[in-house]
Amino acid sequence: MTDSLLSKAATMEIPINSNGDSRSAEDDSLEQGAQIGGSLDEIVGTLPVAMDLQQVMVSGPNLNETSIVSGGYGGAAEGIIPTSSIKDIRSKSRGITPSQSAASRIANQPGNYPAPGMHHSNSNPSLMSEEATKGVAVEKFDTVKKWSINTYKCTKQMFSERFGRGTKTVDLELEAQIDVLRETKLKYERILRLARELTNHFYNMVQTQQALGDTFADLSQKSPELQDEFGYNAETQRLLCKNGETLLGAINFFVSSINTLVNKTMEDTLMTIKTYENARLEFDAYRSDLEELSAGPRDAATMMRIEIAQQQYQIQKDKYERLHSDVTIKLKFLEENKVKVMHKQLLLFHNAISAYFAGNQQQLEQTLRQFNVKLKPPGSDKPSWLEEQ
């Protein structure tokens, strides 16, 4: 009977080996029996403790709170090694401090969240870049979608207007001013082209006069019997060449001013008019779309589409009215600027041409001073001797 009690007590005192010890239960019982001296009374005294241990095993203890027993149950306190100390040793071997391991253990428990200062080591930069790329792609897709819808509506409206099936918003007074501007620009372009041709022809004539004057001067020195006659003609050609250069300066100034008026001022106004016409087409397209939706059934889906169309219509209407005002103001300023510029340039052109062909050199020079036309000194277009080296 004593043997049966001893074996039962030894069996119920089997310690929990959290480190995976491969020793059998019999070896542990023998070792414990040797440590307690084999006394029956002491073995019986350990029965409640063994029963408590069995209850702990049944209730399922937390393995993190178990201890590794080095020796028999009820040994000295210094023989008990907490499991947490072994985990700290393993963390140190991996370069992790006990505080870090404890913090990570707490953060990994259910219901706990990482501290604000902690960063996850599994954050992948490639995933972030992929999400950013997807965001850009979605934004581009939305832009293309909006452009496609707007282009479809405008194309539909344009064909409807050309075939007489659609209505068009027209400001008769403004349209008449735009037509006048386009015709005026064509006529001024013709004036500019002819003035440039005159400049080229007159420049060639001045160069011919200069060459002819140099030839007369050379012959006056080599022909004593015709020295006076060649000399008179050489002086006349030189004077005509000088006056011709002065007239060329006036014509070039005239051409430059007309070019600025036509290709900058008028062109800028026409670009604004083109933007206005595009806005007018978009406005009519969204207006027609709103009218079609309003004439249809009034269910929930249609009412939502009507509300969206009303918002788009209001946006296009504001844009159209703003550009309409801009075009009206620019046309007014352009007309005032055109009258002012052409009055000055036409007076310059007339006085310079009249003074040149009248042979009035003083009147020609006075005309250039009156209109602040500065002539380039002779030979200014030629490179200096230093640049030629």
- pLDDT (tens digit, 0 to 9) for every residue of the chain, 389 residues total? 445 444 444 444 444 444 444 444 444 444 444 444 444 344 444 444 444 444 444 444 444 444 444 444 444 444 444 444 444 444 444 444 444 444 444 444 544 444 444 444 445 777 777 777 777 888 887 788 777 877 887 887 787 878 877 788 888 999 999 999 999 999 999 999 999 999 999 999 999 999 999 999 999 888 888 888 989 999 999 999 999 999 999 999 999 999 999 999 999 999 999 999 999 988 888 888 888 888 877 788 888 888 888 998 899 899 999 999 999 999 999 999 999 999 999 999 999 999 999 888 888 889 888 888 876 654 445 544 444 44
Task: Calculate the dihedral angle through the C-alpha atoms of 91, 93, 94, 97, rounding to the nearest 10 degrees.
Answer: 40
Strands (E), 99-254: none
Contact 326, 232 (CB under 8 A): no
How many Cβ atoms from other residues are within 10 Å of residue 275's Cβ? 14
According to DSSP, the β-strands at 67-69 and 80-82 are: antiparallel
| Residues 6+ away with beta carbon under 8 Å from 73 | 13, 15, 32, 46, 49, 50, 53
- Amino acid at position 260, single letter: T
For the chain, give me the number of helices (H) and strands (E)? 13, 2
Contact 72, 35 (CB under 8 A): yes
Nearest-angstrom CA–CA distance, 330 and 327: 5
Nearest-angstrom CA–CA distance, 258 and 191: 8
Nearest to 378 by CA among 248, 236, 212, 199: 248
DSSP 373: P
Nearest-angstrom CA–CA distance, 251 and 371: 12
Question: Which tokens hold the place of 282?
Answer: 């978009």
Task: Tell the residue number behind the tokens 């209850």, with chain if given.
Answer: 55
Contact 216, 231 (CB under 8 A): yes
Bridge partners (DSSP) of residue 67 are 82
Contact 43, 57 (CB under 8 A): no
The pLDDT of residue 385: 43
- Amino acid at position 219, single letter: L
- The DSSP-derived string for 1-51 is -HHHHHHHHHHHT----TT-----HHHHHHHHHHHTTT-HHHHHHTHHHHH
Question: Which tokens hold the place of 90?
Answer: 């393993």
Nearest-angstrom CA–CA distance, 347 and 258: 13
Question: Which tokens hold the place of 373?
Answer: 């036309």
Nearest to 312 by CA among 337, 290, 339, 336: 290
Contact 287, 320 (CB under 8 A): no
Residues of the chain by 3-state class (helix, strand, coil), percent to 5: 80, 0, 20
Contact 213, 241 (CB under 8 A): yes
